[in-house]
Amino acid sequence: MKTKTAKKTNPKKTASKKAGPKTATTQKAQEPTPKNLDIYGAKPLAWSRVLKQLGSNPQGTFWLATTRPDGRPHVAGIGALWVDGKIYFVSGARTRKSRNLAANPRCAFSVSLTGIDVVLEGRAIRVTDRPTLLRLAKRYAAQGWPARVSGDAFTAEYSAPSAGPPPWNLYVVRPRTAFGVASSDPPGATRWQFASTRASA
């Protein structure tokens, strides 16, 4: 009588099939690369020090810097939201900052957080997909501004004077580079480079 023999298994193949996703590698890849800019011996600042405050939607004013077509700078205070590692803000199509961004989307934000001053650089892209507009309208409403979606923009009974008349376009900026200078202990100055957006504009 013939007996069935068990098939030999390759332990290397079995182990590779059972191996789950490398979450540690993924999490590490999402962290920006720091460079210490301090000249007095302080250690690099932790990005988490900035991220924690941005995620809680700080009350400090965000200042948006854009460039006019003739090369002159323009700075305006805006209400911004930090969501999923990106900055969202609104602006009327006829405002100076929106016209500047239409010609040159490169921009920078500055904000004074508790114990640290931060600058974030990137490119502004107008958001027109309805799911994102609806999601951000809810976020703004939760912050006290009753925004609602109208077509591919926002409308409301009121907004900041600097936003211009409605409708207001929604923009998103994914930071490419960030700078932080501590204004309280622990001291330091650091530049962070975001790996996923390192390509030059």
Give phi and psi for 4, each to the nearest 5: -80, 130
Residues 127, 86: Cα–Cα separation, whole Å: 12
Q: Look up residue 143 and give its DSSP letter.
A: T
Residues 90, 114: Cα–Cα separation, whole Å: 24
- For residues 98-123, one letter each, b for 16 or more C-beta atoms within 10 angstroms of the residue's C-beta and e for the rest, the string is bebbeeebbbbbbbebeebebbbbbb
Percent pLDDT > 70 in the chain is 82
**Model confidence, pTM:** 0.81
Q: What is the mean pLDDT of residues 165-181?
A: 96
- Select from 162, 94, 88, 151 the least CA-distant residue to 125: 88
Judge contact between 66 and 104, C-beta under 8 A: yes
Q: What is the mean pLDDT of residues 124-145?
A: 95
Mean pLDDT lowest among 7-16, 32-41, 104-113, 169-178? 7-16
Q: Encode pLDDT of 38-87 as tens digits.
A: 999 999 999 999 999 998 877 778 999 999 999 999 999 998 999 999 99
Give phi and psi for 103, each to the nearest 5: -90, -30
